[in-house]
Chain A
């Protein structure tokens, strides 16, 4: 234990550059008071430099801030005037330029002002922590370490935690707890080697990609087509990632490797290629200068072409035969085909994997504590779906190791250093085992960290080879699995793709609620992986139709409707104008589902046991309505919640409009509810989606009583804690409201007046106007006198009526069709 338990009252960040400012932003996202330091401005307000950086935070996309206004909660400071304020800070994070001399100067300057228990951590991405520590006063060195955030820090899960020789172990544990629970990060303990783990491996992988692309004459755009989602990496793949990161930053990391790793077998490759240096010299640094490997001219994306030295339209594609290979779900077959193919693109992909595997195997012992840490570092820091060792192991360790050794012997690999003995061992089947991951130094399998903070993660991020049992099944249907973890709380998880809600899910949730009422103290709606749910799926359950589901969130929802819309009968009916009657037969099914939806959400609200929606990622449409009806939501900051039905010409009919109508009445506290209702109208009519859980709360999808948390792996535990608290407080469902004031017909006409101007100004179409009018009609309680008292069912009936009227219109059907065909909304 450290001599002083870490209570983080306040944090200081030194350096308001790209990383420093964004780290400060993430601290305020987590409600941690933060002081952001920068050099004093030469003229004007001495805090001018910080204020500029803070203002810039509001413009960055994707936003580093959960709510734009939170930027103003960052306290600006400068080194000339405010060093005294450091005394109140429990953690100081240094994030200034990567210059050893500048950092050393700064340490000397600030050290006397640090509090007795202040932890001082450098966010260096490559400098040696021990060398930096040497610049720190010896008596304070036990509170010095490295914390390496990844850009953008709000979104990248990884933080590497690096000790110096003297760092107090307890301090590291405390810091890890803070980073994991308070900031929601995934912490990897890295060794003090150049660029630590993720950048070392990730940047090598990029260098290998550049090397093999040049060797095989594959253009940058084609490289990106091959090295993105096709091989389980981010869509920005290799060169677009470099553009986003900044080519100068990339070069800096490469140069660090060149300067600090003279004995590395791959040292000859640690260099900035001439073309890249030329771009940097010309000031083409990527996204921040709007020109890099790519540039956008008008609507065209252009890519640098090394053959001509100029830019050309970016249209590189993966060869169809290669795509076929990469789509093969069996990794062993996939790699065998790549390895066997003489196609340059296949050879390219095999080569970059081979050299990355080779590199990781050779360096694992020196850079990481075990193979798990390396894999997670790459997954969390570079966004790969699987780490290099996971891929290797899933592909057949021995086979791949054999091929690598063959290529090394044949001089095909980048360097001829042999695989380490442990990796080449023919009896090896992998590095990840249920009991731990391989650590070459000790030749042992190391289990996961036993720090107390991980007790909050019963189901941490999955690793290949780990056996994972998600509790004990209570019952399972086609739509859901209801289960528990050995305690008295029931959990229901959806089995559908993207966790869309169809009839089977609705029936399953209803059954789960009944089960929970009889045998448990509460019910948590939790998904093993995000999203929470992309919304309703009106398709009737028909077992597993193993079709590749459309990527669009709303795709499934509209498939059945599309079929109907395309039916000959319907087309004929349209011509003679009796579509409504003819469609009635099939739409009855849809109406039945809407009804079931409403029954389910009402059950979530009025069940005899507390219900909690544990939200991470998307919660759209019907998913959002589930969230709105549970007694409480626990949402990670990265939850994107919204009622998006209007986007395809429909309106929320699973109780979403009803809840907003009731919330407006409650918000008004007996006063005028129109400003509240108009706000909710805007949310529904514009299909607003919260850009964070806090934003969703600002819009009104989340309530003040709902919890926002930072780490998705803690979600289930916190949701269960909420259940326990409600149950312990003697939970009773809310009494059914029988006298909800409605805004009525005047409210409808006032909203129509607003839309009338939008229509006259050409901002919305006739159909938008119709949809908006219907949303207004439902929210206002229909054509009744303002202030009339109605009950929930009144609103629910209106929802259903107007949903069905909209789905019967040609234009809504056209929107649905277009969404299906192109994934893009239709304006009609």
Chain B
């Protein structure tokens, strides 16, 4: 059912390191500034690119308000110094916003409407909390029982998944500990070097002793989330964070984070014109809906859908970036679909690396494209569950 006129290629994919929220290294770094930085870094990896040729900058953001409101895509690209001829669009599908941006950018190329597109994602959970600055729910939510789950926090849905898919507390904690182990191993061996653009943080802080403004400058070179002191035993001691008698804890859930990522996509014609080597090819993308109260199982529906679309089998996938919203839902998805645990998040996942909601998709595309290339693998996937009950999955081919 391919309707495309041409392929879309990933030419550059980069990201910031991911900081902890709300008290991590990026707590004072605005998400529009961080977006501007990754946009600049991404186009810098495409020498000779005429920025005027960028068809659109599509940016995912899950809570697009406050510091990341007002169409942060356009603001970010202008702050990045892009010519004002470049348009910008902010999109939102919660946790899949970043990969949705990649898919939407690819779609424009595949339809022949653009030769150069940028997809990005940015999120500061330090500045705009989950649920936004003013969470509010329609009275309609309570008029129909099925709709009540709209109001559920993600943690409660994870508890439901753990219960219904029988994922034990022990398994969740083991999974979480393994995520940290993998993330640290990858960090220590420099696996993330290719994808991270090092942001220079300049915090301007009052020094009450000298009565001067002190500029605290640091280089954000590594993800802040992975913990060396994590162990299954330590995780087992944590109290349930959402349900009184539950199994989902702060330790086996994804971390709140700040971060941004950007991906440059081109048509074959543009590749030739600029004489650029692509990292890979965009293969396909699908989303699917599931009941809101078990939103974590979204990938169970989205993965088969995109594989059918792309015409490849699950076995053909060499690398799966499955967003670890919760260990409970990750394990439910892995078990239900029979995914190979060794291929899922080989460099660790959101439990260790963090999950800056709308930025995660773009960030993990960068991880996947550079990872596939280093390890000379072919097919990879970025997939995640989505609040209010959806799943998204994108397939990429390394070149």
Chain A residues whose C-beta falls within 8 Å of the C-beta of B135 in the assembled complex: 750, 753
> In chain A, residues 654-683, which have Cβ atoms closer than 8 Å to a Cβ of chain B?
672, 674-675
Interchain CB contact under 8 A, B243 and A753: no
Interchain CB contact under 8 A, B136 and A750: yes
Judged by a CB distance under 8 angstroms, whether B238 is at the interface is no
> In chain B, residues 150-169, which have Cβ atoms closer than 8 Å to a Cβ of chain A?
151-153, 155-156, 159
Judged by a CB distance under 8 angstroms, whether A748 is at the interface is yes
Interchain CB contact under 8 A, B246 and A750: no
Judged by a CB distance under 8 angstroms, whether B142 is at the interface is yes
Interface flags for B154-191 (1: CB within 8 Å of A; 0: not) read: 01100100000000000000000000000000000000
Stretch of A29-37, A481-489, A759-767 on the interface side = A759-767
Total count of chain A residues near the partner, CB < 8 A: 18
Chain B residues whose C-beta falls within 8 Å of the C-beta of A745 in the assembled complex: 139
> In chain A, residues 589-640, which have Cβ atoms closer than 8 Å to a Cβ of chain B?
none
Interchain CB contact under 8 A, A752 and B159: no
Given the known A-B contacts A756-B148, A760-B152, A760-B243, are A749 and B159 also in contact in the complex, defined by CB atoms under 8 Å?
Answer: no
Interface flags for B206-248 (1: CB within 8 Å of A; 0: not) read: 0000000000000000000000000000000000001111100
Chain B residues whose C-beta falls within 8 Å of the C-beta of A674 in the assembled complex: 134, 136
CB distance from B336 to the nearest CB of A (A): 23
In the assembled complex, the Cα of A675 lies from the Cα of B132 at a distance in Å of 12
Given the known A-B contacts A746-B136, A752-B151, A753-B151, are A761 and B141 also in contact in the complex, defined by CB atoms under 8 Å?
Answer: no
Chain B residues whose C-beta falls within 8 Å of the C-beta of A746 in the assembled complex: 136-139
Interchain CB contact under 8 A, B151 and A757: yes
CB distance from A722 to the nearest CB of B (A): 36
> In chain B, residues 238-296, which have Cβ atoms closer than 8 Å to a Cβ of chain A?
242-246
In the assembled complex, the Cα of A752 lies from the Cα of B143 at a distance in Å of 12
Interchain CB contact under 8 A, B244 and A756: no
CB distance from A132 to the nearest CB of B (A): 37
Interchain CB contact under 8 A, A749 and B244: no
Interchain CB contact under 8 A, B137 and A750: yes
Interchain CB contact under 8 A, B156 and A761: yes
Interchain CB contact under 8 A, A762 and B137: no
Chain A residues whose C-beta falls within 8 Å of the C-beta of B151 in the assembled complex: 752-753, 756-757
Interface flags for A732-762 (1: CB within 8 Å of B; 0: not) read: 0000000000000111111011001100111
Q: Which of A675, A757, A762 is within 8 Å of B153, CB to CB?
A: A757
> In chain A, residues 745-803, which have Cβ atoms closer than 8 Å to a Cβ of chain B?
745-750, 752-753, 756-757, 760-763, 783
Chain A residues whose C-beta falls within 8 Å of the C-beta of B140 in the assembled complex: 749
Interface flags for B103-140 (1: CB within 8 Å of A; 0: not) read: 00000000000000000000000000000001111111
CB distance from B32 to the nearest CB of A (A): 23
In the assembled complex, the Cα of A749 lies from the Cα of B139 at a distance in Å of 5
CB distance from B287 to the nearest CB of A (A): 25
Chain A residues whose C-beta falls within 8 Å of the C-beta of B243 in the assembled complex: 760-763
Chain A residues whose C-beta falls within 8 Å of the C-beta of B142 in the assembled complex: 749, 752
Chain B residues whose C-beta falls within 8 Å of the C-beta of A748 in the assembled complex: 139
In the assembled complex, the Cα of A672 lies from the Cα of B243 at a distance in Å of 30
In the assembled complex, the Cα of A675 lies from the Cα of B245 at a distance in Å of 29
Interchain CB contact under 8 A, B244 and A757: no
Binding site for A on B (CB under 8 A): 134-142, 148, 151-153, 155-156, 159, 242-246
Add 18 more A-B contacts to A750-B137, A760-B159 (CB < 8 A).
Answer: A674-B134, A674-B136, A675-B134, A748-B139, A749-B138, A749-B141, A752-B151, A756-B148, A756-B151, A757-B151, A757-B153, A761-B159, A761-B242, A761-B244, A761-B246, A762-B245, A763-B244, A783-B139
In the assembled complex, the Cα of A53 lies from the Cα of B155 at a distance in Å of 37
Would you list the 8 A-B pairs with minimal beta carbon distance, nearest first?
Answer: A753-B151, A761-B243, A762-B244, A753-B137, A749-B139, A750-B136, A756-B151, A760-B156
CB distance from B200 to the nearest CB of A (A): 29
Chain B residues whose C-beta falls within 8 Å of the C-beta of A761 in the assembled complex: 155-156, 159, 242-244, 246
Given the known A-B contacts A674-B134, A762-B244, A763-B244, are A757 and B139 also in contact in the complex, defined by CB atoms under 8 Å?
Answer: no
Chain B residues whose C-beta falls within 8 Å of the C-beta of A762 in the assembled complex: 243-246
CB distance from A669 to the nearest CB of B (A): 16
Chain B residues whose C-beta falls within 8 Å of the C-beta of A763 in the assembled complex: 243-244
In the assembled complex, the Cα of A488 lies from the Cα of B135 at a distance in Å of 52
CB distance from B160 to the nearest CB of A (A): 8
In the assembled complex, the Cα of A757 lies from the Cα of B140 at a distance in Å of 17
CB distance from A370 to the nearest CB of B (A): 52
CB distance from A765 to the nearest CB of B (A): 11
Chain A residues whose C-beta falls within 8 Å of the C-beta of B148 in the assembled complex: 756
CB distance from B295 to the nearest CB of A (A): 13
Chain A residues whose C-beta falls within 8 Å of the C-beta of B137 in the assembled complex: 746, 749-750, 752-753
Given the known A-B contacts A762-B243, A763-B244, are A757 and B138 also in contact in the complex, defined by CB atoms under 8 Å?
Answer: no
In the assembled complex, the Cα of A674 lies from the Cα of B136 at a distance in Å of 9
Q: Which of B134, B138, B152, B155 is within 8 Å of A756, CB to CB?
A: B152
In the assembled complex, the Cα of A757 lies from the Cα of B241 at a distance in Å of 12
Which single residue of chain A is at the shortest CB-CB distance from B159?
A: A761
Chain A residues whose C-beta falls within 8 Å of the C-beta of B245 in the assembled complex: 762
Chain A residues whose C-beta falls within 8 Å of the C-beta of B155 in the assembled complex: 761
Chain A residues whose C-beta falls within 8 Å of the C-beta of B152 in the assembled complex: 756-757, 760
Q: List 26 A-B contacts (CB under 8 A).
A: A674-B136, A745-B139, A746-B136, A749-B138, A749-B141, A749-B142, A750-B136, A750-B137, A752-B137, A752-B142, A753-B137, A756-B152, A757-B152, A757-B153, A757-B156, A757-B242, A760-B152, A760-B156, A760-B159, A761-B156, A761-B159, A761-B242, A761-B244, A762-B244, A762-B245, A763-B243
In the assembled complex, the Cα of A756 lies from the Cα of B243 at a distance in Å of 12
Which single residue of chain B is at the shortest CB-CB distance from A746?
A: B136
In the assembled complex, the Cα of A748 lies from the Cα of B142 at a distance in Å of 10
Interface flags for A59-80 (1: CB within 8 Å of B; 0: not) read: 0000000000000000000000
In the assembled complex, the Cα of A787 lies from the Cα of B111 at a distance in Å of 47
Interchain CB contact under 8 A, A672 and B134: yes
CB distance from B356 to the nearest CB of A (A): 23
Most buried by A among B134, B135, B137, B242: B137
In the assembled complex, the Cα of A761 lies from the Cα of B151 at a distance in Å of 13
In the assembled complex, the Cα of A480 lies from the Cα of B278 at a distance in Å of 88
Interface flags for A337-352 (1: CB within 8 Å of B; 0: not) read: 0000000000000000
CB distance from A339 to the nearest CB of B (A): 56
Chain A residues whose C-beta falls within 8 Å of the C-beta of B246 in the assembled complex: 761-762
In the assembled complex, the Cα of A760 lies from the Cα of B240 at a distance in Å of 13
CB distance from B161 to the nearest CB of A (A): 13
Which single residue of chain A is at the shortest CB-CB distance from B141?
A: A749
Chain A residues whose C-beta falls within 8 Å of the C-beta of B244 in the assembled complex: 761-763
CB distance from A762 to the nearest CB of B (A): 4
In the assembled complex, the Cα of A810 lies from the Cα of B246 at a distance in Å of 30
In the assembled complex, the Cα of A762 lies from the Cα of B160 at a distance in Å of 12
In the assembled complex, the Cα of A749 lies from the Cα of B151 at a distance in Å of 9
CB distance from A30 to the nearest CB of B (A): 25
In the assembled complex, the Cα of A557 lies from the Cα of B391 at a distance in Å of 54
In the assembled complex, the Cα of A349 lies from the Cα of B113 at a distance in Å of 98
Which single residue of chain B is at the shortest CB-CB distance from A672?
A: B134
Chain B residues whose C-beta falls within 8 Å of the C-beta of A750 in the assembled complex: 135-137
Interface flags for A403-436 (1: CB within 8 Å of B; 0: not) read: 0000000000000000000000000000000000
In the assembled complex, the Cα of A318 lies from the Cα of B134 at a distance in Å of 59
In the assembled complex, the Cα of A783 lies from the Cα of B159 at a distance in Å of 32
In the assembled complex, the Cα of A750 lies from the Cα of B139 at a distance in Å of 8
CB distance from B329 to the nearest CB of A (A): 16
Which single residue of chain B is at the shortest CB-CB distance from A786?
A: B136
In the assembled complex, the Cα of A132 lies from the Cα of B207 at a distance in Å of 42
In the assembled complex, the Cα of A242 lies from the Cα of B77 at a distance in Å of 70
In the assembled complex, the Cα of A793 lies from the Cα of B156 at a distance in Å of 39
CB distance from A736 to the nearest CB of B (A): 30
Chain B residues whose C-beta falls within 8 Å of the C-beta of A783 in the assembled complex: 139
Interface flags for A476-507 (1: CB within 8 Å of B; 0: not) read: 00000000000000000000000000000000
Which single residue of chain B is at the shortest CB-CB distance from A755?
A: B151
Which single residue of chain A is at the shortest CB-CB distance from B140?
A: A749
CB distance from A7 to the nearest CB of B (A): 26
In the assembled complex, the Cα of A746 lies from the Cα of B156 at a distance in Å of 22
Which single residue of chain B is at the shortest CB-CB distance from A760?
A: B156
In the assembled complex, the Cα of A798 lies from the Cα of B140 at a distance in Å of 22
